[in-house]
Amino acid sequence: MSTVEEIEKAIGDLPREAFWKLTDKLIERREAAWDAQIEADVASGSLDALWAQAEKEIEADETQALDAFLDNEKL
C-alpha cells in the first residue's frame, strides 16, 4: 500500500475492533509527534518570544478567562 486511497480502502475494510485499535494507535502517534515538536521548539528557543509576550500580558492584566473563548459562538 503506497497511496492514501489504498490505505483508506484498507482501513474501510477493517473489522470494527481492528479499526478502533488502529485509530487509537494513530492518535497516540499524532500526540507523540506533537509533543516532540513542542519539546524541540522549546529547546530551540523558538517559543521564547511568545512566552515573553504572554508574561507581559499577564503582568498587565490583559488576559481573558478561557471560558470567555469557550463560550464565544463566533469562534
What are the tens digits of pLDDT across the range 38-49? Answer: 999 999 999 999
For residue 57, is it within any domain? Answer: yes
10 Å Cβ neighbour count for 72?
9
For residue 33, is it within any domain? Answer: yes
| Structural domain count, the chain | 1
Distances (CA, A) of 68 to 23, 53, 54: 32, 20, 17
**Domain span including residue 56:** 4-70
Q: How confident is the model at residue 75 (pLDDT cuts 50, 70, 90)?
A: low
Mean pLDDT, rounded, for 34-58: 96
For residue 66, give the C-alpha cell. 478561557
For residue 23, is it within any domain? Answer: yes
pTM summary value:
0.65
Give the span between the Cα atoms of 14 and 19, in whole angstroms.
6
For residue 31, is it within any domain? Answer: yes
Give the span between the Cα atoms of 28 and 34, in whole angstroms.
10
Mean pLDDT, rounded, for 44-57: 96
For residue 75, is it within any domain? Answer: no
10 Å Cβ neighbour count for 41?
13
